[in-house]
Every structure is written in C-alpha cells, then in structure tokens.
Structure 1
Amino acid sequence: MSGNDRGALSGDEAPPAPPSNARLPDGEAVLGDVRVEEDEQPVTTPRAAAPRCIAVVGPYGSGKTSLVEAMRLRGDDVVRAASCREGGHPATARHDAGRAETIARDAAESPESRVHTMGTEATVTGFAFMGDDYALVDCPGSIEFCAEIDGVVAAADLALVVCEADARKLPALQVILKNLEERGIPRVLFLNKIDRADGGIRETLEMLQSASRTPLVLRQMPIWRDGIATGFVDLALERAYVYREHAASRVMAIPDIERARQVEARFEMLERVADYDDALLEELLSDIEPPRDRVFDDLAREMAEGLICPVFIGSAARGNGIFRLMKALRHESPCVDATRTRLGLEAAGGTVVQVMKTLNDPHLGKLSLARVLSGSLAEQATLFTASGAQVRSTGLYRLEKGREPVRRGPAGDGEIAALARLDGVATGATLTSRRGGGLDLIALAPPPPVLAVAVAPAERKDETKLTGALQRLCEEDGGLAVVTDAVTGEIRLCGQGEMHLKAAIERLSGRFGLDVLRRAPRVAYREVIAAPVTVHSRHKKQSGGHGQFADITVAFSPGGRGEGFRFSQQVIGGTVPKTYFGAVEAGIAETLGEGPMGFPVVDLQAVLMDGAHHAVDSSEQAFRAAAHLAVREALARAGTVLLEPVLSVVFDVPTEATARIAAIAATRRGHITACEPRASWPGWDTVHALIPEAGVQDLILDVRSASAGVGVFRSAFHHLAEVEPRLAAEIAERRRRDAA
C-alpha cells in the first residue's frame, strides 16, 4: 500500500468545494468536492480478503458506544445514502442518517443497557468502509461485566481501546491493557474527548503510559487555540486537519506556530519505532528522512506484533478524528490470517470456529456467537469440540441490530455468525470440522464472585422454571454463578457487583418472564454447646394397646472445632439394647438442626451412658423421641455459644487504596494479616485479611468506592469463631423476628 493511498482523502474530510477550476494554495487541487494534493489522487485499493473483527474496549464512560456510532456514520452505506440526498451537503445528510441509525440501534439494545445507560453485554455491529467489511464488538466498560470481554478479544484481530485524559480512570485502563497484553492482542488507543482535555498532550501521554507496559506511540498531535483542541497534525502523514462541528474535518497547511512541535513529536514517534528497526535507527542517527512507506510499514508491523500501541486523538461525540482513525485501521490493523498465526492455527486445516459469546433467543433457543477463524461454515454444520464430542448446528444466523437473528447462508473466513442449539458448547470453546477435535485455543477463567443475592420465585409453581432460567443466565454470562448454600438452603445468584446482579435479575423478568423475590443471603451461623452436661430423659406414652417407652442418660460435651457431631455409647448390662443405639443417634442428630438461638448446633459429642427399656412398649420411635427431649434439655441447661464463619479474603487493589482497604476491613470486624506488591502488576498491592462472613456480604461496594472502581477480592471459608455475647443476642433477636 503506498503512502499516497494511505493519505488519500474522501468527502468525509472535505470542506464545501470552490469552483472546479479553482486553484488552491499549497499545491492542492479540487476533485469534485474532494480537496486533495495534486500528487495524491484517490486510489482504489484492493478489497480485504476477509472481514476484520475489532473489539472496542475501554473504561466505563470513556465513549466506546459513541465511537462505534461515529464509525458507522463513516460506513459506505451511510455515505452512499447521503450522496443521493438533494439540496444538502453530504456531511449533513450523513449526520441525519446517523441519527436514524442511532435510533434503530437503541431500539435493539438490551433493556438493561437502556435503563441503566451503560453497556451490560457485548454487542456486534457490522458495516463496510471503503469496500472492506468490519465487525465492531462494543464491550461493556464496567469491571462488573468483565467476563463479557475475554471471549470477544481472544478471537478479535485488534482491540480498539477508548480512553480519556482522566487520571481517575487510569486503574481501569491498566486492568484492560493488562488483559490485552497477557493475551497478546494487538491494540490501538483512541484518546477520546480531546475537546474537553485541559492538559498538554505530552503530559497526558506520560500519564497514560503508566497504565501500559507497551510503549504508547503518539500518531497525532493536537492543534491548540486558546486552550481548545481545534484540529490535529497527523505525524505519519505530516498533514494538518482542522475540526468542524458535526461536519468533515478540513485539510490545512501545518501552521508555522506548530511546525517546531510537529517536527519534535514526529521525531519522537520515529525514535519509538526505531527501537525495533535497526535500519530506521541508522537513518535517524544520520539525519536521513526515512521513506514514508517504510514508516507506515513499521508502524503496522510493530503494532501487529504488540511491540507498540499507537495513540490517536479525537472526539467521538463531535465526529472529530474518526475518518483518520478508520483509515489507519484499514491499512494497519491485522486481518484474520494474522489472528490465526497468533493463535497457532497455521497448520490446523479445515474449518475452525471460536465461540465468542452465548445468547438465548426466545424462539431459537441457545445461540453461540462465533467467529470463523479458518475455512467456511455451512448452515447445518457438524463440528467437534476440544474433547472430540460431535455437535451439529440447527441453523446459521447473522445478528442484526445487536441481538436480532436473521437467517443467512454459509459464513466465510473471518465472518461472525450465530450457530443455533450447540448443546454442551460454552463461550470460549473452539470447534473444528476435523474429526476428533483436539483444538482448545483459549482458556477462560471465570472471575471469582464478589457479591451474592438470595433468590426465590414469587410463586412456588415457578421453582423449576427459575432453575432453568438461572442456568441459561450463567451460560450467557461467565461472571455469574448459582450455588445452593448447604447450611441455609438458599439459592444464591453470585456475580461481580451490584449493577451486574441487578441487570441479571432484570433479565429474569424481561427475557424469561419470572417474578423473583430477592434478599441478602443469610449468614451461616452455628451454635455450639457451652459446657458439658449429663441429661436423663424419659419418653413414656400410653394410649391403649402398645404404649411408648424409652429411658436414656446421655452425656453431652463440646467437640473439637470442625469435628461435627460424634456419637458413642458406654451402656453396660444391656439396659438399652443395641438395636436402639441407632435410633438414639438419629434422634440426637435430627434435633441439632435448630438450637436455642435458631441456628444449627455443631461440634457436639454425645455419649449414651445408661437407660432402660420395656419388652413390649419400647421401639425405635420411642428412643428417637427420648433423644429429642435429651438434646433440648441439654442445650437449655448448658446454654450455647454463637459461632460465625470467618473468611480468608485476598484483595487486589491499586497501592494508593491499600490503606483504605485496611480501614474498611477494620470497620467490618476484620484484620489484615499480610500485604505485598501484586506480582507483575506495578502500582498494585495484594492484601490478605480475615473478615467475618457478615462483613463480606456487601464488601465489594466499599472496595470499589475506595479503589477507583477496579478493586477485586476472592474469599474462602477459613474457620468458625465465637461471636461476642452482645452481638450474638442481637443476631438471635433478628432471627426470632424473621421467623415470626
């Protein structure tokens, strides 16, 4: 691709045209309504062999969706529609068409995204630009929906990272870039909202560099007037542009006042690139101007290899800098063949499909949104999983307007399609036409849950329906998990934060028609007997015919922590026949489900010491009843101590939040046990703590507030600890009120 072609203009960057025979300054000429330099006539370039897939990622509120919409406005279909309008400038027509496109897109977004004005799931947008096909996957920005991103970026050719000059969002940007770096995904950074920036580009770049291990290479330099970015200089093209409100940028000569800054910034860009090109470094040291084509080739190669991350600037909301970004992506972003190489698929052979996301359609059932990495995909394809299991799709669909499935023919190399009813196939799975499978390209590790809510159907008849709906929710979103607590018996929906769970509950209602009751999970408190006690218990009942008689003496004592219930007997002389030992043990165990405070009794030792029986009236039922009475009397006489579960909690937070995390743990009756720098995460700490389960339930809300929204933790049961008497009395009273 020539440097001239890379710089070729289109109507998207043209001012209103003067007469066609006019001569323009700086060696420019007019071609229709397109202003170009005389030696840079527009060139028709070959169509890309396969569609490109670009994942659009970035911190919450950075403007990802606005950028996706702005890029769609530059698409060929919108441009053609605008050029057919009469009596209006194409830029205005494109703006009007874009508004209609936005309305159509908003109508197709998930209800949860519209209600909360934030992305809650990845959505796919397809369009063509200059004859090439693109699929943009708009990923949620909140860390609560991070599981949506991993499956998408793995199969994408490039990640377009959207950010802004806001130091408060640096930790979120670092989390995103770290994930991309570890997966080896090529990336481009778009510095959005340049019209609102209040600092110099050099300082901004230094700030952003702290979030990236990969060198950030500035590709464009803003032109400032009275503290406002009015345009930019493309450092690779050495050409200046001036922004216009909701209209095409205009080509201009580089202002004299900016010339020195442009020369310095371009040299710094070339120095960065020369770190990985010895020939270019030699030319720079010899003051030789490198050929423009070489510069572009180096920029593209080093970006594709993950050696550098180019930085472009603009304003998605105003449509500024979009066309130049898209031109750079068209010429420099990797294609699906490079993605195959990155994933090690050069010699795979046949059809290879990577599942990026799972959806559940009310009419078609389960849909697996997948990218064809190699070969082609027929409408009813037979494929094999990594384990060799055979699966067969019942249909092939294109997702239009985000979620609307439309039947389609075969999908070719690089395309994204939705396959229907692939049972047993999860997000992240690799499918191949090669019998026996064996391919597993990516490993998706679900993030540990940090918040849970207890759920139950509003009507008992919906219990089975709720179970199925929760399973489908977890299929769609790897950040969700469903567990049944063994102590409380609750069904818990676990997720990544308050908004994450709220959106999931709303899906249960909107997509599955389920009214769900929800509340905070119960803490699995237990009770333990406070002191040894020996109880004599007799059950005697006479009501005609055979009566009921059992007499036992049982010694109760606290057991070791974690030992559970232990039963033994020391009966001498057959006062209690062996046939009734099991009934006594069962009767005691059955009564331990609820102690005086209302919680299960644990770690109890019971020894059957003595007793009596009747040859006619004794029975297993009678001895079981006597055991019930013995336990109740023992617990009443000896009293119980309340135990609470204490969790081991491991936080990963930015270093500046570490002191706040220690304070938060203390307010929740916890304490810090260790703290060290987080491995391979500059500027982050790993903090270890022990915190009661009651203090962990909504802990993530304080953690996120203290850590710029990016702190995470993982927790696991550590031990049971006694609750101090005053707090135990309060807990018992709450339990009685709830049970009333």
Structure 2
Amino acid sequence: MGQDVRSPRGPRCIALVGPFQSGKTTLLEAILARTGAIPRAGSVDAGTSHGDSSPEARQHKMGLSLTAVTTQFMGESYTFLDCPGSVEFAHDMRAALPAVDAAVVVCEADERKLPQLQLILRELEDLGIPRFLFLNKIDRANKRIREVLDSLQPASRIPLVLRQIPIWNGDLIAGYVDLALERAFVYREHKPSEVIDLEGGNLDREKEARFSMLEKLADHDDALMEQLLDDIQPPRDAVFDDLARELREGVICPVLLGSALRENGVLRLLKALRHEAPDVTETAARLGVTAGKDAVGYVFKTQHLQHGGKLSLARLFAGTLADGDNVQSSSGEASRVSGMQAVGGGHDSKRSSATAGDVVALGKLDTIKTGDTFGNGKTAPASLVEVTAAPPVLAMALAAADRKDDVKLGQALQRLNEEDPSLTIVHDPQSHEMVLWGQGEMHLRVALERLHDRYGVTVKSHAPGIGYRETIRKPVTQRGRHKKQSGGHGQFGDVVLDIKPLARGEGFAFAETVVGGAVPRNYMGAVEEGVIDALRAGPLGFPVVDVHVTLTDGSYHSVDSSDQAFRTAARIGITEALPQCQPVLLEPIHTVEIVCPTEATAKVNAILSGRRGQILGFDTRDGWPGWDMVRATMPEAEIGDLIVELRSATAGAGSFTRSFDHMAEVSGRTADQIVAAHRQAAA
C-alpha cells in the first residue's frame, strides 16, 4: 500500500455529528483539552463549554448552531465543526458537511436513538464522506459491545467495523484493546490511557475480535484474504493501510470506544484521524475542484455579530486567498474580503491569507451566502454543491409588539434567515400576516428568543390563520340599488344580479347580459369591482369562492350615476343576496406524506385518524430499510402542530411534507365552532 496512504498533509476539517444529546460538544471539549487548546474541558451542564456558547444554547443546554474550532495535534492543524444533533437544527450540519474531510459520528448504546442515527449516516453516505463512529458513554454500557454493534448496524449501509474491544473490571469497563495496534490500555480519567500487558482472557478475546475485523477488511483486499486463508498474520502496517484506504473509499465505518466526559478514548480517536482521515486534496477531488492558482472556497455558515457585522465561515479547497481580495460566487455575485480571522478555541485571531485546507472567518461578504462556492479568479467558479433546506413543518404568525419596531423586525428576520436558511418568512396576502416557518417547536422558540436577545425586538405570536373560504349552494337573483342625494350631484346606481354556484375550484366568474343600455358599458368594470369587494367576506366571515355573477339589468341617472355609485350598488346587491344563497363553509384539505420508522407506523396512523385524516395508504420507504411512508389527506387546521405529536411518537425522527389538494365543505358543530371563533377574533 505504501506509507503515503496514511500520511495526509495540510489542515484538516472534521465534523462532529450525532443524535441529540449524544455528547458531541462534550467530545469537542475533551479534544480541545487533550490538544492543549484550552486548560481544561468545559461543561455543557455548567454552561462553560467552548461549543455553542450562545445565551439560548446555554439556557436550553443543547447545541443550536454550528461551532467551528481549530486546534493543533502532533504538529498538524484540525478544525472541528460541532454540529447540532436535533433534527430541528440539522440545516447547519447539512450545510457544513460538504466542507469536511471526514466525520466523527458520536452515538451511544441507546436503540431509541437508532432512527436519528440512521438519518445522520444517510446524509454522510449520500455525500460520500468518510466516517468514524465514536461509541460514547462507554462507561455506562450494560451490554456486550457485539450486541450494541449488532443493534446499530441497521442504521448503516456499510459495515460497522469494531476497532476496539472493552476490558471489563466486574460490571465496569476499565479500558480497551486496540485491535489494529494489538495493545491493551487502561483508562485514566482526564489523562492519557496507560498501556498494560495483553494476556489471559483479554488476549483470547483480542484474537477472536481481531480476526473478525480482518475478515471485514479482506472483503475489499484480495491479498489480505489469501493471508487469512493461509493462516498468515498480516503485517501491522498493512492492516493500518487497509483501514485508512477502506475508510476513505467509504466501504467501512470504523468504530472506536470512549467516554468524552472522562476524556477516555479521545487520544486514540485523534490518532486515528491523523493517520487515516483524508486531507483536503482528496476532499477537493471528491467535490470536483481542480488545483490551480485561483482560490476556490465554500461558505458553510453565516453569522451576524452584534458589533462585528457579517462573518462567513468558509473552507478553501484550492489556491490562496488574501484579506482584501475581490471574490465572486458561482452565481456571479461579487464581494470583497474585509477582514480574515482564524477560528480558534474560544478566541479568534486575524490572518492575512489562507491556503487550501484552511477554515477561516471572512468579513463582510455581503452578497455571498451559506452554501455558496466562491473564488478570486477572473471567472466565477462552478458551484460545488447545492444545499437545500428541509421543507418547513411548523409556522407561527408574528408581529412586532410595538408598531415602531416593524422595520427593525423585518431586518432582524432577514439576518436570522441568512444565518439559518431553514427558517422561512412568508407574507400572507389574504390574512396580511407575517408568517415564520421552521423545523419544529424549539426551532421557532429559539428564533423568537434571538429576536429579543440579539436584536431587541419583542414580538407577539399566534397560530397562523387557516385558509377557510365559503361558497353558495343556491342561485339567487338580487337587485342592488344605491341612491343618495345631499346637495349638488347625487349618487345613483342600480343593478340586477344573477348569482349562482360554480363547481368546486372554479373560483369566480363575472358576465353581463344587459340589453338596451340599461347600464352603460362604461360602468361594467365598476360593477365587477363592487362584486369582488363584497365577495371578500361573506355572511360567515370568509372570502367567497366558486361563484358566478351575471349583471342582467339595472338603471342609471344621466347626472348622478358614477363608477363609485355602481360599485356601491353591486356591493349592496351581493351582500344582500349571499345570506339567501345557502352559504356553506369550506376548509382547505392537504395531501400529507409522512416518513417514520416502521415500529412507529401504528402510532402515526392513530395520530392521523385523531386529526380527521383520511389514510390513503402506506408503503415501505424506498431505499430506507425499517422505514415506512404513510399518505393521507388532512384538513389544514389539523396540520398546524402535527409535527410536535409526530416527533414525540417517532423518537424525534419522523417528518412530513404537505401540499394543497382541494377545498371541502364543513358542516354541523365543527363549522359552527369555526365561524364563532372567527367572529370572536374579529370583534
């Protein structure tokens, strides 16, 4: 294989990913302490971690946004990207993954988190990113490691290859045996592990486990397979070379053991990253970047500092970038680097330039956003990846508590959206509400906290309005007459209108059959406008749809008639006619597609039924073993907080997409309650 297989050069970038509360930030603290970047590891519980240190993260004791920290290990530079584990904040991870050389998937022996683990591994698999699995909290394990591995394997499409086995002291794990190194170590809390003799039962277990590891490596190495068949022990260097090559080719996922809280197993993880993780040249090749003198970089995170303006966290894949360089994105947007900083363990330092592999914070790239590829060449670089946000699943309508903060609120929301593109701001033209869409209850709650804490904007929020409409069942002919005399020219308009229902979904139509000039043609447009005015709110209080109105007759006055008079007459006619047309309430019905672990499908069906859903069917999720997809139709009013109940039933892994399907009649008590609530809100 050659020693160069395990000797990458240049700064490397590693993502720390994993299910919610698996210990990623604690592992980052342990890495920073072990590499000397900080005097000692901070604590998430105590609010002293160097990871996500925002006030909101401290308050909720969870990672809410990506943290980038650069440190040195054995003379080499490593930038670790600590990614949030909650599915509600997963966009930071998705945007960051294209920038990294490898990922460390932090998980624990908890089968309840298996669906979340599968979601994360699928992201890495689809992007072709080499990955280690760090089995954390090993000091709490109460199962044999083989059993744990067997339970985790369904989450991965490639073999999980055990690199270490534990050394037990009664019911406690006291250390581990490194199967590649063929050495035994005893844990020492907050210190490097101590080498001990490999003997007795541990030696027997090591031989069996090592042979199992080699068998999996031999599936992709014919020479190693022949050695095993001939009962020849392969050279240790060849085993390490195989581990490095097969990791980078994405055919195995090595599994390492440890306890981030006690800093156990951290040094061995760092050494595995040093010898086996690819470097920027391989990552650039994976992304299709060709080496050259021009810099090519990728922005994986945008931040707005309270007093420092906009910062773009970026990684360079080729060339050299200097502070002050003019750059352009792949879409042709131009900007200028105004300030360059290295990202460090709790502090940032200025830099004058960066080269391939470096992760830097670039100031004031106003036209370049998260997910953009950029370069300093004369032509715009090709886009390396396209990062799209997951469809939003929960919404709230909001407004500034103080009207004078309306402009401030708009600016703050724009900045939040730049930092987190999985937030979406929509202005509803019908309800005139500003609606903020996000990935879940906590996602929206944190957005409101940031509006208040960072930007000083207090907002009022409530559930968005539902798109109720009303229509009619019965045709009616109605005269509308407007006559007013008050000195000078009066007002006179007189129309006869035929109103009849249309088929569902046909909207609104207007026609005229006036003969003999009863209503002059120049007033026809005003009549139609008056009809439209009246249809904005029917007798039930909602916009009226699927109605055909025909102007059949009327009269006018040569002096007192006007556009405004006929518009008012038409509005009066429609307003008086609609209560006679047997108005009926309509509600929007959406098609919903839910993806969930198979063991939760029965719960999901019960949730749908309890929300007036009509289940259309379900099937296995294509390409996702152990997952189902359920299709149903549901009233929009029942979808509002569906994601909250769905996530609770699926250990945080389930999600859904929806699309409008049709409008359906609502009658009886449900309709009465909707109308009463609407009238009360409007009062």
Which TM bucket (shorter chain)?
over 0.9
- Which of 318, 324, 333 aligns to 1:380? It is 324
Check the 8 A contact 2:597/2:654 in 1, yes or no.
yes
Give, as a single letter, the amino acid of the residue that structure 2 aligns with 1:336: V
- Are the equivalent residues in 1 in contact too, given 2:489–2:560 (CA < 8 A)? yes
Aligned residue in 2 for 1:584: 527
CA distance in 1, matches of 2:43, 2:174: 28
The alignment status of 1:677 with 2:620, answered yes or no, reads yes
| Cα deviation code 1:645-664 (max 9, x no counterpart) | 11111111111112221111
The aligned counterpart of 1:267 is: 211
Q: Bigger CA drift: 542-551 or 346-355?
A: 346-355
- 1:445-491 CA deviation, whole Å, 9 max, x = no partner? 21000001111111112222212211211111121111112321211
Alpha-carbon offset, residue 120 of structure 1? 0.4
**Residue pairs, 1:164-183, within 5 angstroms:** 164-183=108-127
- Letter of the 1:527 counterpart: E
- Structure 1 315/100 Cα, relative in aligned 2: closer, same or farther at 3 Å? closer
Q: CA deviation at 1:99?
A: 4.7
Give the one of 59, 63, 76 matched to 2:23. 63
How has the CA–CA distance of structure 1 residues 159 and 77 changed in structure 2, closer, same or farther, with 3 Å as cutoff? Answer: closer
Match of 2:566 in 1: 623
CA displacement, residues 203-262 of structure 1 (integer Å, 9 cap, x when unaligned): 111111110001111000011222221111010111111123344322111240222211
Equivalent residues of 2:594, 2:655 under 8 A apart? yes
Question: CA offset at residue 364 of structure 1?
Answer: 3.2
Matching of residue 118 in structure 1 with residue 78 in structure 2: no
Q: Secondary structure at the match of 1:411?
A: strand
Counterpart residue number, 2:72:
128
TM-score (structure 1 length as normaliser): 0.89
Deviation at 1:510, TM superposition (A): 1.4
Asked whether the equivalents of residues 662 and 671 of structure 1 are also in contact (C-alpha less than 8 Å), the reply is: no
Q: Secondary structure at the match of 1:572?
A: coil
Range with greater deviation from structure 2 (161-170 or 418-427): 418-427
Aligned residue type for 1:509: H
Q: Match for 1:322: what amino acid?
A: V
CA shift at 1:560, angstroms?
Answer: 2.1
Aligned mates of 1:184, 1:399 — CA distance in 2: 26
* Paired residues of 1:2 and 1:293 also in contact (CA < 8 A): no
Matches of 1:408 and 1:348, distance apart in 2: 22
Q: Which residue of 2 aligns with 1:16?
A: none
Secondary structure of 2:41's match?
Answer: helix
Equivalent in the alignment of 1:360: 304
**Aligned partner letter, 1:388:** G
Q: Which runs of 5+ in 1 are unaligned?
A: 7-44, 79-93
Tell me which moved more, 54-63 or 357-366: 357-366
Contact 1:217–1:311 (CA under 8 A) maintained in structure 2: yes
Structure 2 gap segments, 5+ residues each: none
Partner deviation per Cα, 1:7-42 (whole Å, 9 max, x = no partner): xxxxxxxxxxxxxxxxxxxxxxxxxxxxxxxxxxxx
Cα separation, 2, equivalents of 1:610 and 1:98: 85
Report the counterpart of residue 723 of structure 1 in structure 2: 666
What are the residue-to-residue correspondences of 1:597-676 with 2, within 5 Å? 597-676=540-619
Does the alignment pair 1:232 with 2:176? Answer: yes
Aligned to 2:338: 394
Runs (4+) off by over 6 Å: 100-103
Deviations 1:509-561 (A, max 9, x none): 11211111111111011111231111112111111222111221111111222
Q: Distance in 2 between matches of 1:494 and 1:418?
A: 28
Rate the CA distance shift 1:72–1:655 in 2: closer, same or farther, 3 A.
same
2:632 corresponding residue in structure 1: 689
Letter in structure 1 aligned against 2:28: V
Contact 2:70 2:343 survives alignment (8 Å)? no
Contact 1:161 1:189 in 2 (8 A): yes
Q: CA–CA distance in 2 between the matches of 1:485 and 1:545?
A: 43
Deviations 1:65-93 (A, max 9, x none): 11111111111455xxxxxxxxxxxxxxx
CA distance in 1, matches of 2:404, 2:35: 50
Give the CA deviation at 1:423. 2.6
**Deviation per residue, 1:258-277 (Å, 9 max, x gap):** 22211000000011111111
Q: Does 1:550 align with 2:510?
A: no
Q: 1:400 to 1:76 in 2, by over 3 A?
A: closer
The amino acid across from 2:17 in the alignment is V
Report the Cα offset of residue 736 of structure 1. 1.3
Task: Please tell me whether the aligned partners of residues 527 and 595 of structure 1 are also in contact (alpha carbons under 8 angstroms).
Answer: yes
Q: Identity percentage over the alignment? A: 51
| Structure 1 residues 2 and 535, CA gap change in structure 2 (3 angstroms) | closer
* Structure 1 contact 432–439 (Cα < 8 Å) conserved: no
User: Structure 1 residue 493: deviation in Å?
Assistant: 0.7
SS for the counterpart of 2:272 is helix
Q: 2:281 corresponds to which residue? A: 337
Residues 106 and 114 of structure 1 are in contact (CA less than 8 Å); yes or no, is this contact kept in structure 2? no
- Residues 1:2 and 1:223: Cα distance change in structure 2 (over 3 Å): farther
> Structure 2 length as normaliser, TM-score?
0.96
Q: Which amino acid aligns with 1:71?
A: I
Letter in 2 for 1:324: R
CA distance in 1, matches of 2:257, 2:187: 12
Measure how far apart 1:401 and its partner are.
5.1
1:42 corresponds to: none
